[in-house]
Amino acid sequence: MFDSFPIRYLFPNSITALSLMLGCATIVLAAQGRPEDACWLLIWCGLLDRADGVVARLVNGSSVFGGHFDTLSDMVAFCVAPGLMIFFTLSGDARYATHFEAGRGRFLLVAVTVYILAGAIRLARYNSEVSELGHTWFRGLPTTIAGLMIGSYMLSVWDSGLNDGFIYAIPFILIFLSVLMVSNFWLPKSFGKVKWVLAAQIVGAVVIYTFGFLKIYPQVLFLGSLAYPLIGFSVGWFLHRGGASEKT
């Protein structure tokens, strides 16, 4: 297989590899007590995850290998990395560790484990259904969006100077995101059929990528990661209500 590996495949797969490495670095930084840096790396993983697919289409570099490699990268970057980052931060940071002792500590561990497991199920299900769903719909919340939500939420809390109660709520947020990832809710991959909607998406993408790589205004990134599933699930419910999903 690799004896005839076209050079064009290297471009998208290199981006996927970088996302995987940043996911590993996210875990290391969190373990070292640098949660803010870890969250920004997690956001960069999300931005790169969108970029590798675009590059693959531009250079005609899509491949079966690339699809499997992307899934493994997503498992690390958006399932394992966010889960362990949260565990290391909430159980090891002096600001929060005393709150997550005894029963709360066990609940935190359960929430992290459930999140990682739900992410793995979500990715496996996507791979098994991609031929049926095509390139128009997701079923359940993508792991990429879940990871972006977690990273941008934590950064927004710290950047806005909100009280620790918002951080203490994170285990419940993990459980909620886990349910969404394994749910049967339909989510459109794009809203770009209407010109003004496509223009708004492009502007939004430019803003998010700029703020993300410059590490500024995490609140905007969080609102962006929240708006997409809120609008998308609403559209999906409207279009697929009454069993129409089975005909898609």
Residue 213 located in a structural domain: no
Q: CATH number of the domain that 168 lies in?
A: 1.20.120.1760
Domain span holding position 53: 2-132+142-184
Task: Give CA–CA dist 212/40, Å, rounded.
Answer: 8
* 29 touches 37 (CB < 8 A): yes
Residue 218 located in a structural domain: no
Using CA of residue 129, residue 130, residue 133, residue 139, what is the dihedral sign?
Answer: positive
Q: pTM for the full model? A: 0.91
Per-residue pLDDT of the chain (248 residues; tens, 9 = 90+): 455 667 888 899 999 999 999 999 999 999 999 999 999 999 999 999 888 888 888 888 888 888 899 999 999 999 999 999 999 999 999 999 999 999 999 999 999 999 999 999 999 999 888 777 667 889 999 999 999 999 999 999 999 999 999 999 999 999 999 999 999 999 988 766 667 777 888 898 899 999 999 999 999 999 999 999 999 999 888 887 755 444 33
Residue 180 located in a structural domain: yes
* 52 touches 19 (CB < 8 A): yes
The pLDDT of residue 246: 42
Distances (CA, A) of 126 to 21, 67, 92, 140: 23, 11, 34, 9
Amino acid occupying residue 36:
E
b/e code 165-180 from CB counts within 10 Å (16+ = b): eebeebbebbbbbbeb
Residue 226 located in a structural domain: no
The pLDDT of residue 194: 65
Tally of structural domains, the chain: 1
Place of tokens 């100077």: 161
Residue 51 located in a structural domain: yes
Place of tokens 């990429």: 144
Residue 106 located in a structural domain: yes
Place of tokens 């999140």: 115
Residue 201 located in a structural domain: no
* 88 touches 152 (CB < 8 A): no
